[in-house]
Amino acid sequence: MKENNIKGFTLLEVIISIVIFSTFSVASFYYFSNSMKHHEKLEEKYVLLRMVKEFVENFESSEKMGSEEKEGFIIKWRVTEVEDQRKIISRGSLDFFLQLRAVHLEVINNRLNKQVFSTAFFCNLLLAEKK
């Protein structure tokens, strides 16, 4: 009798390897899909914080309230006086006054029409007045 020396995989081994491969493929897809969603959320937060930082650095407190639209967000602010004007120095014919103001800041996501950030900061306003 002839011996059959054909080597290969049985049907059961092939099915098991396909199941294992499919399981790892689905898990990998789920992991990378969630990573991309997480990355998009972090990117949006980074844009938001960078925009708020720029706003605070360039803020001029001459207006009592206002809003502006930037990069898909609406920034609203309201200025309130915390302390009355205080005379700090006189130079020649000018008196200089310092006034402390609180700025309340609210950021709204334009796409979602939802508040995403809120904060407050203080700023000093230096005024000069002729005697």
Residue 15 belongs to some domain of the structure = yes
Residue 21 belongs to some domain of the structure = yes
Residue 3 belongs to some domain of the structure = no
Residue 1 belongs to some domain of the structure = no
Q: Is the pTM of this model over 0.75?
A: no
Q: What is the per-residue pLDDT across 44-88, written as a single tens digit (0 to 9) for each?
A: 889 888 988 898 888 876 778 899 898 888 999 999 888 777 777
Band of residue 2 on the pLDDT scale cut at 50, 70, 90:
low
Q: How far is CA 86 from CA 81, 91, 98, 109, 121, in A?
A: 12, 15, 5, 38, 20
Task: Tell me how many domains the chain contains.
Answer: 1
Residue with tokens 């925009």: 51
Confidence (pLDDT) at 56: 85
Q: What is the per-residue pLDDT across 105-125, written as a single tens digit (0 to 9) for each?
A: 999 988 889 999 899 988 887
Residue 116 belongs to some domain of the structure = yes
Domain of residue 47 covers 11-130
